[in-house]
Amino acid sequence: MSVQVLPGIDRLALSKSTKIAGLRVAFPREGVAYDDGLWLGLRFRVEGGLYDVFNRDVWQSAYAVHDNAMRFTYRVKVLRSGIVPRAVAGPLKCVRKATLYWTRNPDLTDDASNAIWAMVVDEEKVPHLFDSEAALKGFLFSFERKLLVPAGSLRMGEADLMVRVEGKWGRHSYIEKGQTSATSEPFRVKVS
Amino acid sequence: MAQIQVTDERGARREVNLIRKTQSICPECNRILPAFIFERDQKVYMTRTCPEHGETEELYYGSYQMYLKFSAYWSDGKGTEAPNVSIENCQCPANCGLCSNHLSHTGLANIIVTNRCDLTCWYCFFYVKKGLEGAYVYEPTLEQVKMMARTLKAERPVPGNSVQITGGEPTLRDDLPEIIRAIRSEGVDHIQLNTNGINIALHPELAKAYRDAGVSNLYMSYDGVTAKTNPKNHWEAPYAIEACRKAGLGVVLVPTVIKSINDRELYDIISYAKSNIDIVRAVNFQPVSLTGRMSKKDREKYRITIPDCIQKIEEQSGGEVTADSWFPVPSCSPITHFIESLTHKPQYELSIHFACGAGTYVYLDDRGRLLPITKFVDIRGMLEYLDEASEELNSGANKWLTLAKAARKMNSFVDRDRQPDGLNIGKLLFDALVRHDYSSVGQFHMKSLFLGMMHFQDKYNQDEERLQRCDIHYLTPDLRIIPFCSFNVIPEWYRDRIQKKYGVPVDEWERRSGEKLEARLYRGELRKRRVGPNEKLDPGCGCAVMAQSVSNA
């Protein structure tokens, strides 16, 4: 159905101000054998408009216009640095979702005007419940993943790599559709 | 995970993992109480404490893993814009009607046409019991039935379109064909008839009469495949099914599952449905609701939940119908949302709580085995894709390009090597989702069965989060629409009060009708039937089955 717009919200500005921040990659400093896989630890956050607008007050208004789910889709690629960076792994597509629902938890609500709460379903389709907005948003917009790059897709010797994350979200009553991306600092991995 | 303390079976306090908090009622006094849903030993329980009557703990869901998996599909619905109870008067569950806080439109509306029954099952609280003080017969008039159906059609944004005629035993009403026609005349497209099948077995011509009047299918009790597990209609069901076969009237078998009574026959029931797959469309298992006062020991003896039934079916079928074949009812929401995004119109949605129901489809292959649809269709991937496609459409993507992509994509979810011969699921999905053409669904049903689970609540496991999302409702002569799990779980507020108000005392009914209440009781006539010496019977028909059983006895 058509997306209804919540009044008093500059949806486009919120979308444009959303960014991926704090992108860090952990990698084995001692190197990796050619036959083994290269495990990378990825961390990043979503900050800005989407983070700010997805709050409890907006949940009540969004729910009232049946805007009940927010999907954040992100793609992760591992690139070999160069004049034209080339992908050596990925894109790995992941979806994290927040579902708004009417709660009957007496600790969270005392009347119908603030009865809407959110549940987070992570990339592995595991649901997560929280009893504070801060904890919920902290989980929803913070990401930690392990990535496996087959070492065989790298050449022997030293490989200069980067990780690129591209995130996107759809049009909602409280934010316009948008996308953002970030690339990590290059890092060097020894393949022997 | 947060921890709470509960009292264990030895009376000691013990810490357990809290999953969520909700509201429930005291089984003794109906007081609304905060309730805790928690995990223990990989099962899910509910507990609450009444200041007057103490703590009540009950098994809520038999598998913590399935609870987690199914809860990921949570999806609240649009409710109804024309509630009979305004928000100021909402006191859930004390003032149902529907109220403005109800979160599901009516998916299936029950109309009780009589509280008379031709059986007297000891565990049943529905039927009129002559001799009890204040006993009454409740039978709405034709005009009242029409008004109830009209109330259903007046729901917005999604008018109700599915009615179940129920009772008591509705076939005791001689004017049932008129009732069916009256409901149809109000624009209701789907009518199912809830029955024990006995009258249809006795009078097979009724099947055609009901079909011609407008019944879409029978919803027939069938609690087991032996006389011990199904004393209700073990002998009569084959006759009823045969009558429906001849009339072209589909049948849904409905076993009430009770642990330690018939839970060992779940796959046998499915096998019986399979042997009648030409006319049986589905088996809808209903784990028992424990009404009335019952000790915790008895509740533990009889209580069974959806995950328990699903697990038993996997075991009893030797892995033919696996537990991972099942999905919770609200998992259909991506399909609804996709169609809404295409049409910009609110659509029928199944937005009940994930713990209320589950289902799967099984297809009969050439070797006579039942193949769950999940073995050749990536249902999860398809639902995820539809979620994404809806988001793209809502974000302004071109409708025709999205449709073209969807048309190409549908086939990618089908494993053609494992798909049964002659079945083209990709085309069926495309026709249904993209072209809104459901003609091939009928063809699919010729060799498939829908297997469903629907667990109605009782006072011991009542969760107001489930009640608020209930989409199986009752229509009442005072033109309210009341959710099943308040109508029947708190009958003193709803069912009994309403029916008594609109009913007449038994002796007055007998005077008006010229008939004694007990005149229509079933006295086992079919069980006493003997086959005549020159009578020829079709080998598969109920009479032949009965005759063979009698001669073997």
Tens of pLDDT, residues B24-49: 999 999 999 999 999 999 999 999 99
d(CA B538, CA B467): 47
Q: Do A69 and B75 touch (CB under 8 A)?
A: yes
Q: Whose CA is closest to B415, among B387, B381, B449, B368?
A: B381
- B391 interfacial to chain A (CB closer than 8 Å): yes
The residues facing A75 across adjacent strands are A93, A166
Compute how many other C-beta atoms are within 10 angstroms of the C-beta atom of residue A190: 15
CB contact under 8 A, A95 and B384: yes
- Tokens of residue B195, six digits: 């029955």
Residue B131 has pLDDT above 60, yes or no: yes
What value does the mean pLDDT of chain B take?
90
Contact between A165 and A182 (Cβ < 8 Å) = yes
* Cβ-contact B382, B333 below 8 angstroms: no
Q: Residue B55: how many CB atoms within 10 A of its CB?
A: 10
Q: What is the pLDDT of residues B48-105, one digit of tens each?
A: 999 999 999 999 999 999 999 999 999 999 988 867 777 676 678 888 888 888 999 9
Contacts of B471 (CB under 8 A, 6+ apart): B77, B104, B105, B106, B107, B108, B350, B351, B352
pLDDT number for residue B127: 74
Q: What are phi and psi of B162, to 5 degrees?
A: -140, 125
Which residues 6+ apart lie within 8 Å of A137 measured at CB? A51, A54, A55
- C-beta of residue B26 within 8 angstroms of C-beta of residue B56: yes
Report the distance separating Cα B19 and Cα B36, nearest Å. Answer: 8
Residues 29-58 in B contacting A (C-alpha not used; CB under 8 Å): 34
Q: Are A119 and A131 in contact (CB under 8 A)?
A: no
Contact B345 A129 (CB under 8 A): no
Structure tokens given for B59: 């098994």
Find the residue in A nearest to B71 (Cα): A127
Task: Look at the block and give the residue holding tokens 């392990």.
Answer: A146
- Count Cβ–Cβ pairs < 8 Å, chain A vs chain B: 73
Query: What's the rounded Cα separation, in Å, for the pair B37 and B19?
Result: 6
Task: With a cut of 60, say whether residue B541 has pLDDT above it.
Answer: no
Chain A nearest C-alpha distance from B315 (Å): 26
Q: What is the ipTM of this complex?
A: 0.93
B481-483 vs B472-475, strand pairing mode: antiparallel
Instruction: For residue B392, list chain A residues with Cβ-Cβ distance below 8 A.
Output: 170
Q: Is B461 left (phi over 0), alpha (psi -120 to 50) or beta?
A: alpha
Q: Work out the angle between the directed axes of helices B333-343 and B425-433 (0-180°, nearest 10).
A: 50
Q: Each residue of A169-182: pLDDT tens digit?
A: 999 999 999 999 99
The answer to whether A35 contacts chain B (CB < 8 Å) is no
Q: What is d(CA B156, CA B174) in angstroms, rounded to the nearest whole number? A: 33
The partner residue sitting opposite B20, judged by closest CB among A3, A129, A170, is A129
Of the ranges B116-120, B123-127, B306-310, B377-381, which one carries the lowest mean pLDDT score? B123-127
pLDDT computed for residue B366 by the predictor:
85
Mean pLDDT in residue range B389-407:
93
CA distance between the termini of chain A: 55
Residue B19 sits at the chain A interface (C-beta within 8 Å):
yes
Q: Pick the more confident residue, A30 or B248.
A: B248
Give the domain ranges of chain A: 11-191
B22 interfacial to chain A (CB closer than 8 Å):
yes
The three-class DSSP label of residue A150 is strand
Mean of the pLDDT values across residues A57-63? 95
For A106-131, give the DSSP string.
Answer: TTT-SSGGG-EEEEEE-TTS-EE--S
The tokens of B499 are what? 């029916």
Residues 6 or more apart whose Cβ sits within 8 Å of residue A135? none
The model's pTM: 0.93
Q: Note whether A99 contacts B396, CB cutoff 8 Å.
A: no
User: Quick one: average pLDDT of B233-242?
Assistant: 95
Closest Cα of chain A to B187: distance in Å? 25
What is the average per-residue pLDDT within A27-51? 91
What confidence tier does B553 reach under pLDDT thresholds 50, 70, 90?
Answer: very low
Of A71, A99, A107, the CB nearest to B74: A99
The C-alpha of B176 sits at a distance from chain A's nearest C-alpha, in angstroms, of 40
B49 to chain A, minimum CA–CA distance in Å?
14
Q: A11-191 domain in CATH 2.60.40.10? A: yes
